[in-house]
Chain A
Amino acid sequence: MMRKLKSNWQSIALTIVVIISLFISWIFWTNPFPYEGARHENYNSNQSQQYTPQSMGDVYLPTKAIETTKNGNQNQLHSPKANLILSVKKELQHWKLGRTNIVKQNNSDVYLSYLRRRNSLMLTYPDEIPSAVFDETFSQSIDTDRVNQINHIVIPLNGQHEIYLLGDHHYSVYRVRVEKGNFGNIRRLLTSMEKIPVDHKIINGVAVMMYPRSFELPELGYQVTAQNIDTLSASLMSTNQHTTITANRNGNETTYTDGTNRRLIFNRQNGTMKYENYLSKDDRESTSQIFPHFYNKLTAIGIPLDNLRYDEVSNHGRQLNYRAYVNSFPIFNSNGYGEVTLESKNNGNEQYWMSLYSLQVPLPINHQMVKLPSSTDVINQLHATNRMRDIKDLRVGYIWKNSSNSSHVVKLIPTYFIKYHGRWVEYTELNK
């Protein structure tokens, strides 16, 4: 046998190299990806114009941090300097979360007790997020089949090795085991924060954060940055195919079309725009992918993501609203400046609403403190106008008033905003 092998080793070696070459050729024929992949990369690197350091996890972050003391008193934590939520995010990314189980569902009293859990830090999202987004933000892999939507993350500070995830929908409370994590680091982050007393209530079936006492916040100054419409329209209308884009001017509106399925309507007077892309039903993004899909769209459009945060989800999870935030408080403008809304309709159409204007650079001003009333006072005033039934939510934020002279600076003033008939309205507007 050995002798036979020895005498024929050349033929055997030849057979082996021929078989290997056949195998390699087969891989090449059946797998053309290497080349396509390379081409794809070049295409991408040419397209990116501006790079922002905001990852997907930075846009889909909780916006409020609430501490509950050992005595059960709650405070909203904020600071003009320390970014508590960013620091907690970085800390949680080093944690290892384990098994998840359901504590309770459909019981508003139990739910409220977790919202007010003593000796804890709670991070609250402005609206619900899918658990997959939580995993992405905090580099975790909790069971996304078991945990659906999340509104709050409760981190107990009494030495328990678990955290709670709360979903307002169905009042769901989930317990997640912490296999590795340093709660002391979180406790240390809270020391430098300023505090506003708050309380949680369930009003008309919605968990609302209330401000039981009057408090003060500073006025802020910002420079208004205007994007260039040519750059924005180019990034919105550009395709791989060579299509010609036509622009039609009609009064204050300019309509850009590519002749097939894209259209951009730009209002020159107030700088707002609406973009439509008629995709076929087969091309529409699945609902579970909407959050990453729209994040990718935001970066592709090239608008500054610096202050922009996810703010609301609607239309059965197919429309997302993003809003500018300053020092943990949302900014509202009646023209929709500083806001971006992206929608993917069931029939495949994608629609975006946005404006040229955003707030980028904070300015030094003689910060006047503004005294805000307690939310009880605000609600009592609303009761008097008989509008209480139509009110869904309440929050404290900054108003960005449109100035008549085309000024490049704006003063942001803190006030209450009420969700009235599905829109956020400054509360004094409703008292008129």
Chain B
Amino acid sequence: MNFKRIQWIFILAFLLFDIFVGSSLILETRFTVSNGQPNRQSTVLKEMHNDSISYGDLSNKQQTGYYVAGKRSTDGGVLEQESGRLHNQNAHFSSGTLTSDFDKPIKLSKDNPLHRVNRLLKNKKMVALGDNYRYNRELSDKNNIVYTQMLEGKPLISNDGQIRFHVNSDHELTGYTQTYLQDVEILRQRSNTISQQRAVTWLYKHNQIPNNSRIRWASLSYAKLLNTTTDDKAVYVPTWVVEIKTKNSGAIQQLEVNAFNSTVMKETPDSVNTNSLNNK
């Protein structure tokens, strides 16, 4: 009887040993089998998780983009010319911004407010150059419906190509402000950008994301890199814009990573004197 009990204890002890050590062996081997980059990425994602940084699905797919040049439409530019056709509103243009108030506020439906706004953009008498803009959910809130100008299929995030509709408490559009980027020119052949996942892990590795925070969204947009003196044109580059909310304080910040070379974008773009390039 005694011997049987001892046998039982031994069986249980060895069984536990086998299960624990065996499973750790299997897990560890899986960790090392693929030594490639995706694995390293997943390690960083795990570290982020340990630091209480939450995030949704992050795509690992490389995208492509261009260096793009363009000029904010100012006095006498395309936007001012087109604004001459506007009706049923009081519009005026100054320092590159068109500001307009509708004569009568436009009622939006509760279920599908965008349907009405999209129709407005198609009407040249209501909004100038409306075809160039798309709704941007990330930048919109209760009081503003934001449309961004599209460059080669990606939104222009800087303030140089945006329509901001004002919404009052009765859920009516009262007016809008508009900017427009004109003379858009592709400066270099299409090339690869870093993936969404890579942009977020890069920010984390460079201590830009505080612990205990949430990544609300990360979208690939065009942001201003440089101002030049060639006809006041600026250079725009594909940029991952990542919005982070700190869980305790609720503070929201936006980080921008250059998607061509993974560097943090400067808050105020550099200015480059290109006069010497335009002399004969």
Taking a contact as CB atoms under 8 Å apart, the answer to whether B262 and A18 are in contact is no
A21 to B66, CA, bound (A): 59
Specify which chain B residues have a CB less than 8 angstroms from the CB of A389 in the assembled complex.
none
Taking a contact as CB atoms under 8 Å apart, the answer to whether B263 and A50 are in contact is yes
> Interface of B with A (CB < 8 Å)?
4, 7-8, 10-11, 14-15, 17-18, 21-22, 25, 28-29, 31-32, 35, 39-40, 43-44, 62, 64, 66-67, 69, 185-195, 198, 202, 205, 225-226, 228, 230-231, 233, 235, 237, 259-263, 272-274, 276-278, 280
A431 to B39, CA, bound (A): 56
Closest residue to B185 on the A side, CB-wise? A364
Contact of B274 among A53, A221, A306, A328 (CB under 8 A): A221
Contact of A368 among B62, B186, B231, B280 (CB under 8 A): B280
Q: Indicate whether A234 reaches chain B with its CB closer than 8 angstroms.
A: no
Specify which chain B residues have a CB less than 8 angstroms from the CB of A388 in the assembled complex.
none
**Given A38-B32, A54-B192, A21–B14 Cβ distance below 8 Å?**
yes
A362 to B190, CA, bound (A): 12
**Given A10-B7, A27-B25, A37-B31, A21–B18 Cβ distance below 8 Å?**
yes
Contact of A327 among B21, B22, B189 (CB under 8 A): B189
Q: State the total of A-B contacts with C-beta under 8 angstroms.
A: 151
Q: Indicate whether A1 reaches chain B with its CB closer than 8 angstroms.
A: no
Q: Indicate whether A28 reaches chain B with its CB closer than 8 angstroms.
A: yes
> In the complex, what's the smallest C-beta–C-beta distance from A87 to chain B, in angstroms?
8
A54 to B192, CA, bound (A): 7
Taking a contact as CB atoms under 8 Å apart, the answer to whether A41 and B39 are in contact is yes
Interface class of chain A by DSSP:
mixed
Taking a contact as CB atoms under 8 Å apart, the answer to whether B25 and A361 are in contact is no
Contact of B190 among A20, A81, A408, A409 (CB under 8 A): A81
Taking a contact as CB atoms under 8 Å apart, the answer to whether A363 and B277 are in contact is yes
> In the complex, what's the smallest C-beta–C-beta distance from B74 to chain A, in angstroms?
16
7 closest A-B pairs by CB: A37-B32, A34-B28, A364-B69, A362-B187, A17-B14, A83-B189, A83-B190
Q: Indicate whether A2 reaches chain B with its CB closer than 8 angstroms.
A: no
Specify which chain A residues have a CB less than 8 angstroms from the CB of B233 in the assembled complex.
364
Taking a contact as CB atoms under 8 Å apart, the answer to whether A408 and B235 are in contact is no
Closest residue to B261 on the A side, CB-wise? A304
Taking a contact as CB atoms under 8 Å apart, the answer to whether A363 and B278 are in contact is no
Taking a contact as CB atoms under 8 Å apart, the answer to whether B67 and A361 are in contact is yes
Specify which chain B residues have a CB less than 8 angstroms from the CB of A365 in the assembled complex.
230, 274, 277-278
With A50-B263, A361-B67, A365-B274 given, can you name 4 additional A-B contacts, CB distance below 8 Å?
A: A11-B7, A24-B22, A80-B188, A361-B237
Specify which chain A residues have a CB less than 8 angstroms from the CB of B11 in the assembled complex.
10, 13-14, 17
Specify which chain B residues have a CB less than 8 angstroms from the CB of A38 in the assembled complex.
28, 31-32
Q: Indicate whether A239 reaches chain B with its CB closer than 8 angstroms.
A: no
> In the complex, what's the smallest C-beta–C-beta distance from A78 to chain B, in angstroms?
9
Taking a contact as CB atoms under 8 Å apart, the answer to whether A361 and B226 are in contact is yes
Specify which chain B residues have a CB less than 8 angstroms from the CB of A386 in the assembled complex.
none
> In the complex, what's the smallest C-beta–C-beta distance from A405 to chain B, in angstroms?
8
A25 to B14, CA, bound (A): 12
Which residues of A in the span 11-56 have a Cβ within 8 Å of any Cβ on B? 11, 13-14, 17-18, 20-21, 24-25, 27-28, 33-35, 37-38, 40-41, 44-45, 50-54
Specify which chain B residues have a CB less than 8 angstroms from the CB of A24 in the assembled complex.
18, 21-22, 25
> In the complex, what's the smallest C-beta–C-beta distance from B202 to chain A, in angstroms?
6
Contact of A409 among B193, B231, B276 (CB under 8 A): B276
> Interface of A with B (CB < 8 Å)?
10-11, 13-14, 17-18, 20-21, 24-25, 27-28, 33-35, 37-38, 40-41, 44-45, 50-54, 58, 79-83, 86, 221, 223, 304, 306, 326-328, 360-366, 368, 407-411
Taking a contact as CB atoms under 8 Å apart, the answer to whether A41 and B186 are in contact is no
> In the complex, what's the smallest C-beta–C-beta distance from B47 to chain A, in angstroms?
9
Contact of A364 among B44, B228, B262 (CB under 8 A): B228
Specify which chain A residues have a CB less than 8 angstroms from the CB of B39 in the assembled complex.
41
**Given A34-B31, A361-B67, A86–B191 Cβ distance below 8 Å?**
yes
Taking a contact as CB atoms under 8 Å apart, the answer to whether A409 and B274 are in contact is yes
Taking a contact as CB atoms under 8 Å apart, the answer to whether A53 and B31 are in contact is no
The CB with the most chain A CB atoms within 10 A, among B14, B29, B272, B277, is that of B277
Closest residue to B273 on the A side, CB-wise? A409
A408 to B270, CA, bound (A): 12
Contact of B43 among A41, A223, A368, A410 (CB under 8 A): A41
A361 to B263, CA, bound (A): 13
Contact of A53 among B7, B185, B192, B280 (CB under 8 A): B192
A74 to B10, CA, bound (A): 82
Taking a contact as CB atoms under 8 Å apart, the answer to whether B228 and A53 are in contact is no
Closest residue to A18 on the B side, CB-wise? B14
Taking a contact as CB atoms under 8 Å apart, the answer to whether A50 and B278 are in contact is no
A44 to B29, CA, bound (A): 18
A14 to B225, CA, bound (A): 70
A37 to B34, CA, bound (A): 10
Contact of A45 among B8, B44, B185, B226 (CB under 8 A): B44
Taking a contact as CB atoms under 8 Å apart, the answer to whether B226 and A34 are in contact is no
A417 to B235, CA, bound (A): 30
Taking a contact as CB atoms under 8 Å apart, the answer to whether B261 and A52 are in contact is yes
Q: Provide 23 A-B residue pairs closer than 8 Å at the C-beta atoms, listed in order of the A residue.
A: A14-B11, A24-B21, A25-B21, A27-B25, A33-B32, A40-B35, A41-B40, A44-B40, A45-B40, A45-B205, A50-B261, A51-B194, A52-B262, A53-B192, A53-B260, A80-B189, A328-B189, A361-B235, A362-B188, A364-B228, A366-B230, A407-B276, A411-B277
> In the complex, what's the smallest C-beta–C-beta distance from A426 to chain B, in angstroms?
19
Closest residue to B237 on the A side, CB-wise? A361
**Given A14-B10, A17-B14, A364-B228, A83–B191 Cβ distance below 8 Å?**
yes
